[in-house]
Amino acid sequence: MASAKVDVVGGIKFARNGSYRLPTRTVKPSAETGSCFDTTRVGTRVAAPGSHTVTPSSASTGGFGAASSTSKPRTDKFLRRGMGTGGTHDAGLASTAARRRASGAAAASSAAPPRAGATRRRANPPTSALRRAYERGDLPVAIMQSVTNKLSWKVKVETLDLAHYLPLFCDGLREVEEPYRFIAEEGVYDLLLRSPLPKVLACVPVIVVPLKTALNTRIPSVIKRVLKILQTLVECGNLIGEALVPFYRQLLPVLAIFKNKKKNLGDAMDYRPDDGIGELIDETLEKLEVTGGPDAFVNIKYLVPTYESCIH
């Protein structure tokens, strides 16, 4: 049986008898456009924020000293009577010993251990509670597009449940994508500055974990953001600085790692002084000491040994 003749027009196959067949297309998921109508695709296995890589079980010990592995000497390699130099200087033996020392030092340097990577960036998956709430439409905020963008609150900030929304916005401080970063940073400032002091004081224990998670990402921009939030937090009232003292063990270890990352420009002019993370850490620790009461310096010194008191 002869097959019917087929005409192809615009990718559609038309048969002479009037029937047609649409081409089959494979639908591929498109990438996110960045609009507010997209949802973040979260995999089933996502690393925890600020997680550390597991150290391998077998570590090279060659770089921890000049010593090398030795084996049991053989008796046929021992010097016999008459084989020594008799106390005289032998240029051949001296050059051989020098070559052996050089080869041993090269082997020790080649087996040096890898860098610890304390300042290396950690995992920062897009799984913050703020991102999920914003994509669901659960946040009572909107972005006002202008010369300088602002947050427009749909309700009065003073009437919000601060114990629910403040940890939510603090969890978004580790975001580096827009508009989540802007919403988190501006939202935290609005909640801290426009809420009553008793409410802010009661929320100090519940925001320590989100702040610690953001600091553990080791991302310099995120660390600077959290440091400025801490400075604003302790400036809200005198009691807040004292309430943060028991939580120094969660917040200050990362600051001790980045404290010495300062720019040494010599006699040059620094036109962007706020870019130095070391200077910002010093400023934050000084404010913690001033507002933290009599026990603040002892606890800061325990976690940041290089810190010197600013109170004389």
Give the confidence band of 135 by pLDDT, cuts at 50, 70, 90: confident
pTM of the model: 0.68
**Each residue's pLDDT tens digit, 242-284:** 889 999 999 999 998 888 877 777 777 766 655 678 888 889 9
Q: Of 277, 233, 240, 242, which Cα lies nearest the Cα of 256?
A: 277
Per residue in 55-105, pLDDT (tens digit) is 655 555 555 555 566 778 777 767 666 555 555 565 566 566 566 656 665
Checking if the pLDDT of 195 tops 50, the result is yes
Dig out the tokens for 212 from the structure: 């610690």
Q: In this predicted model, which residue has the larger pLDDT, 112 or 206?
A: 206
Q: Report helix, strand or coil for 180.
A: helix
- Domain boundaries, given as residue ranges, for the chain: 129-303
Task: Give me the architecture of the 129-303 domain, per CATH.
Answer: Alpha Horseshoe (1.25)
Q: Which two tokens stand for residue 131?
A: 């991102």
In angstroms and rounded to an integer, the radius of gyration of the C-alpha atoms of the chain is 32
Q: What is the DSSP letter of 4?
A: P
Nearest to 285 by CA among 264, 303, 263, 312: 303
Amino acid at 93: L
Contacts 24+ apart (CB under 8 A), 198-202: 199/162, 199/163, 200/162, 200/166, 200/233, 200/236, 200/237, 200/240, 201/237, 201/239, 201/240, 201/243, 202/162, 202/163
At 117 the three-state DSSP class reads coil
* pLDDT category of residue 212 using cuts at 50, 70 and 90: very high
Give the span between the Cα atoms of 21 and 14, in whole angstroms. Answer: 7
